[in-house]
Amino acid sequence: MDRFIIRGGRPLHGEITIGGAKNAGLKLLVAGLLTSERLVLTNVPHIADIATMCALLTQHGLTVEAVNGDKTTLSVGGEITSTEAPYDIVSKMRASILVLGPLLARCREARVSLPGGCAIGTRPVDMHLKGLETLGAVITLENGYIHARAPEGLKGDRIVLPFASVGATENLMMAATLAKGRTEIVNAAREPEMADLASCLNAMGAKITGAGTGHIIIDGVEALHGTTHRIMSDRIECGTYACAAAITGGDLRLIGGQVEHLGAVVRAFEEAGVEVTQEGNAMRVRRTGALRGIDIMTEPYPGFPTDMQAQFMALLSVAEGASMITETIFENRFMHVPELNRMGARINVHGSSAIIRGVHSLSGAPVMATDLRASFSLILAGLAAHGETILSRVYHLDRGYEAVERKLAACGAQIERVSN
Ligand code: UD1
């Protein structure tokens, strides 16, 4: 298993190119199930979750090929030969549930393993299932699998989501493209990835309006066709490297970064004493003064993203004064706290809130990654800390960040990957 060895204390300077968005790319690959023609995606990030999604699509019978030997351009297409998404893939990656709506819409049937540990009617896929039932699907649970059928095809209807779930909005939006008549999704998720997915689906012949707002309207069509689509740049990767500039007192130009996709994050940076500007196609982030403690609450977009929470926790652990972070989206998303505390941070968790008392400096330590974003918060702490940090279980990081050590080292960080 790979580890990172980080020697901290160096301000980062230079440029980092932000890759295609993981959370857009995964769904855009799934959109390949909606047509018999080939869908070509460019700006595909080279990360493990994308490889997992390609394996799932291959299991459904599609072929996924790099175009001209370039792995950042993938062509997906072919006939669907299996409508089953097996446990061994779904349990690896929760986003696999996204194949349910498209398979059902196209093949009128799908069997998808429930993501590990969840039960129908409770978290985490009840909204996906209820929405598909509203569109006429008959859903049963058998041996840990969701079995969904719509022998006459799906029929458009009005779906009101009780919570603006990202995954449920995407699943239902994709399914509704091939339903008969009009579907409305009320209280839809408004993340920029919704608009990116809808723009690709519309280029494939779908009729979607309002994606990116809380009210999406989809007029069903008979069939979709192939297209070529460039995946939007990853706003969370951009925000994460912005934290690397901020925590080290550096100055980074993040190529492809869009301030407009990071409104709440940029406001938090500015309040904390970090300067953020859009310079052409790059987001520039620099810090010259001290970091100040601030309060943050995670919320659905356009609020502060839960996927930036752990990184800000590392940043605020070395800010002047106290900060409070409240997590409202996921339970148990403070697993990085004990590890940060082992590096000298002073963080206490009370229910869904964490109180962070800023310390003057952190000290390097052996630490363990627990999930994707938490892993990066430990890298950030390591970049700011005195001495050496050894981060194990780097595979969590490889799920969603491409070439971390190369990107950071090019800007002056001392970080190396060691196997075993
Ligand atoms: C997506 C992102 C993830 C991000 C999250 C919130 C991808 C691949 N992942 O995850 O990085 O952190 O949005 O911005 O895009 N819930 C239910 N029932 C449901 C669906 C969700 O209770 O049917 C709950 C979940 O357990 C969670 C909350 O709603 O507590 C948010 O989930 P959701 O917005 O659906 O996130 P994901 O699509 O899983």
Residues 42 and 142 in one domain: yes
Distance 167 CA to ligand 1 centre (A): 6
Region 186-214 average pLDDT = 98
Would you put residue 272 in left (φ > 0), alpha (ψ -120 to 50) or beta?
Answer: alpha
Q: What does the DSSP 8-state code read for residue 69?
A: T
Domain boundary among the residues 212, 230, 248 is at 230
Nearest atom, ligand 1, residue 94 CA: 39
pLDDT-derived band at 311, boundaries 50, 70, 90: very high
pLDDT-derived band at 383, boundaries 50, 70, 90: very high
Domain boundary among the residues 230, 250, 278 is at 230
Residues 79 and 125 in one domain: yes
Residue with tokens 């097996």: 86
Range of the domain at 169: 22-230
- Asked whether the predicted pLDDT for residue 122 surpasses 60, the reply is no
Q: Which two tokens stand for residue 209?
A: 């309006």
Detail the residues annotated as belonging to a binding site. 22-23, 94, 307, 329
pLDDT-derived band at 118, boundaries 50, 70, 90: very low
pLDDT-derived band at 306, boundaries 50, 70, 90: very high
Q: Which two tokens stand for residue 280?
A: 């052409």
Predicted confidence at residue 71, as pLDDT, reads 81
- Tell me the per-residue pLDDT of 18-62, one tens digit each, with 9 for 90 and over: 999 999 999 999 999 999 999 999 999 999 999 999 999 999 999
- Asked whether the predicted pLDDT for residue 65 surpasses 90, the reply is yes
Detail the residues annotated as belonging to a binding site for phosphoenolpyruvate. 22-23
Please give the angle made by the CA atoms of 235, 240 and 244, to the nearest 5 degrees.
145
pLDDT-derived band at 408, boundaries 50, 70, 90: very high
Predicted confidence at residue 145, as pLDDT, reads 95
Give the mean pLDDT of the chain.
95
Whose Cα sits closest to atom 38 in ligand 1? 167
Residues 49 and 188 in one domain: yes
Distance 133 CA to ligand 1 centre (A): 19
CA–CA dist 380, 242 (Å, integer): 10
Ligand 1, residues at Cβ distance < 6 Å: 23, 26, 94-95, 123-128, 163, 165-168, 305-307, 329-330
Residues 351 and 366 in one domain: yes
Predicted confidence at residue 123, as pLDDT, reads 61
Nearest atom, ligand 1, residue 170 CA: 38
Residues 216 and 247 in one domain: no
Count of other CB atoms within 10 angstroms of residue 399: 18
Predicted confidence at residue 323, as pLDDT, reads 98
- Asked whether the predicted pLDDT for residue 360 surpasses 60, the reply is yes
CA–CA dist 254, 15 (Å, integer): 6
Whose Cα sits closest to atom 33 in ligand 1? 165
Domain boundary among the residues 197, 215, 230 is at 230
Q: What does the DSSP 8-state code read for residue 127?
A: H
Residues 14 and 102 in one domain: no
Predicted confidence at residue 70, as pLDDT, reads 81
Beta bridge partners of 277: 284
Residue with tokens 């080290």: 248
Region 181-187 average pLDDT = 98
Residues 162 and 298 in one domain: no
- Asked whether the predicted pLDDT for residue 393 surpasses 70, the reply is yes
Helices (H), 5-109: 22-30, 48-59, 87-90, 100-107
CA torsion 86-89-92-97 (nearest 10°) is -60
Distance 373 CA to ligand 1 centre (A): 14
Region 117-122 average pLDDT = 36
Backbone dihedral angles phi then psi of residue 111, each to the nearest 5 degrees: -130, 110
Q: Which two tokens stand for residue 145?
A: 């699998």
* Per-residue 3-state assignment (H helix, E strand, C coil) for 339-379: HHHHCCCEEEEECCEEEEECCCCCECCEEECCCHHHHHHHH
- Asked whether the predicted pLDDT for residue 119 surpasses 50, the reply is no
91 vs 253, residue with greater confidence: 253
Q: For the chain, first and last CA: distance in Å?
A: 5
Residues 337 and 395 in one domain: yes
Distance 125 CA to ligand 1 centre (A): 9
Q: Report the percentage of the chain scoring pLDDT > 70.
A: 98
Nearest atom, ligand 1, residue 49 CA: 8
Sign of the torsion angle spanned by Cα atoms 111, 112, 116, 122? negative
- Hey, which residues are catalytic here? 118
CA–CA dist 114, 85 (Å, integer): 9
CA–CA dist 397, 131 (Å, integer): 32
**Structural domain count of the chain:** 2
Residues 133 and 206 in one domain: yes
Distance 165 CA to ligand 1 centre (A): 5
pLDDT-derived band at 331, boundaries 50, 70, 90: confident
Nearest atom, ligand 1, residue 307 CA: 12
Residues 326 and 189 in one domain: no
Backbone dihedral angles phi then psi of residue 127, each to the nearest 5 degrees: -70, -35
Region 142-149 average pLDDT = 95
- Asked whether the predicted pLDDT for residue 205 surpasses 60, the reply is yes
- DSSP labels for 215-263? EEEEE--S-B--EEEEPPB-HHHHHHHHHHHHHHT-EEEEET--GGG-H
Indicate yes or no: pTM above 0.85: yes
Pocket test for ligand 1, best of 163, 169, 231 (most atoms within 8 A of CB): 163
Residues 170 and 282 in one domain: no
pLDDT-derived band at 116, boundaries 50, 70, 90: low
CA distances from 276 to 16, 100, 247, 358, 411 (A): 15, 40, 14, 22, 18
Q: Which two tokens stand for residue 112?
A: 């998808």
Whether the CB-CB separation of 4 and 379 falls below 8 Å is answered with yes
CA–CA dist 150, 105 (Å, integer): 8
CATH of the domain at 148: 3.65.10.10
Whose Cα sits closest to atom 9 in ligand 1? 23
Backbone dihedral angles phi then psi of residue 232, each to the nearest 5 degrees: -60, 160
In 280-420, the DSSP E strands lie at: 282-286, 295-297, 322-326, 346-350, 353-357, 366-368, 388-392, 414-419
CA–CA dist 97, 101 (Å, integer): 8
Predicted confidence at residue 35, as pLDDT, reads 98
Residues 202 and 72 in one domain: yes
